[in-house]
Structures are given as C-alpha cells and as structure tokens.
Amino acid sequence: MEGSADLIRVRYQNGQEGLVDDVTLNELLLYKKISHFYRSSENQWVQAANVTLRLEEKAYWGPERRRPIYGVKSESKTAQEWFETGYSLLIASGRYAEAIRAFAIAIRLDASHVRAFRNRGMAYKILGNLQQALDDFSRVIEMQPGDPKAYYLRGVLYWNQSRKAEALADLKTAEELGYQSARDFLKGHDLDGDVV
C-alpha cells in the first residue's frame, strides 16, 4: 500500500488496529483513544498509558515522530492551504498517507475544519483504518449535524461492518437531509441487509 511506510500502527481502546500518521498519533495519545502503538525502531508495542506528553506543547516526541508538527511553521501555511494540499494529494495523486498528514496538520491548526476531518476520514477508509474513519466522520457530524454526506459515509462504513442498526439510522438521516446517494443505497438494500 503506497505511503503506508510513513504510517504508525495503533491499537484503539476497543481493540481494533489501524495505521495513522504521526500528527494523528499525537491527537490519539492526547485524548487517550488508543491503548498501544507500534514502535518499529524497537520492534515492539508501546502502552499509550506509559507515554509522557510534553506539557508545554501537549505533544509526544518519541522515535515515531519523524517530522515534528512544530517543525512545520504554522505561519508557513494556513489550515486551508494544508487542506488544499491534502485534497490534491488525495484526489489527484492517490498519495493517501501524505494526504492524511496534510489534513491532520490542517486540523491541528483549525480544529473546526470540517472538510479536513471528512476528507481525512475518506483517506483513512481507503487505507483500511475504519476506526479512524468512523471517528472522523463522527466528528464532522458533531460539528455539523446537518451534513448529509458525513451521515452517508459513516452509514456505509457501519453497513460494511455489519452494524446494520447504526447504518440504517445514519443512512435514513442522510436521506432525510436530501442526500441522493443515501436514498439510492437504501433502495438497493432491504432492512435485513440483503441486496434487493
């Protein structure tokens, strides 16, 4: 998988695993969303509870941090510019790991950047980190409860994980908000999850 060498394996509190960039690793450590991460330099899993964040920056600076967030001068690019960089990497070149990192920096600079969360979630979905994708889509829904695309994206992920009740709730919400793709999806599936 392209770019996955730049990503760090994490184990979420619910036991699921996925790959994240170094900026998102910091976010997950800060908010205690992971139980472990894999330190490839030592070929071992590290308990997240044993990691100390630098209090002045609330950042983790272990060996996984190849490129410190703070090495990127926030004034060098705005959150919107980082978002646009990520979007270009995601859509035009398929460089997903780099796109994820650009979106994560945009989020670090502007925690209310809804499109950065949505697009980072889509990139994580492509790379197979469904837990992080769900978390990002959920964050979009928290910030913009009227965003039908976020409900649709999260609903499809739930559906693919056989979490039918959650999927149907999200897909019906997206449909009620006028999202045609949700309407089409629901028409193609019955309530038991079988294709019609």
- Cα distances from 122 to residues 19, 51, 56, 69, 149, in angstroms, run 14, 29, 32, 22, 11
Lowest mean pLDDT among 57-71, 124-138, 155-169: 57-71
Query: 132 vs 47, 127, 136, 155, 176, CA distance in Å?
Result: 19, 10, 6, 14, 26
User: Residue 54, SS3?
Assistant: strand
Other C-beta atoms within 10 Å of 29: how many? 21
27-41, 65-79, 104-118, range with the lowest pLDDT: 65-79
What pLDDT sits at residue 13? 94
Number of Cβ within 10 Å of residue 62's Cβ equals 17
Q: What is the pTM of this model?
A: 0.83
pLDDT in tens, 142-173: 999 999 999 999 999 999 999 999 999 999 99
The yes-or-no verdict on residue 1 having pLDDT over 50 is no
pLDDT at 98 over 70: yes
| Per-residue pLDDT, 36 | 95
What number is the average pLDDT over the span 73-81? 78
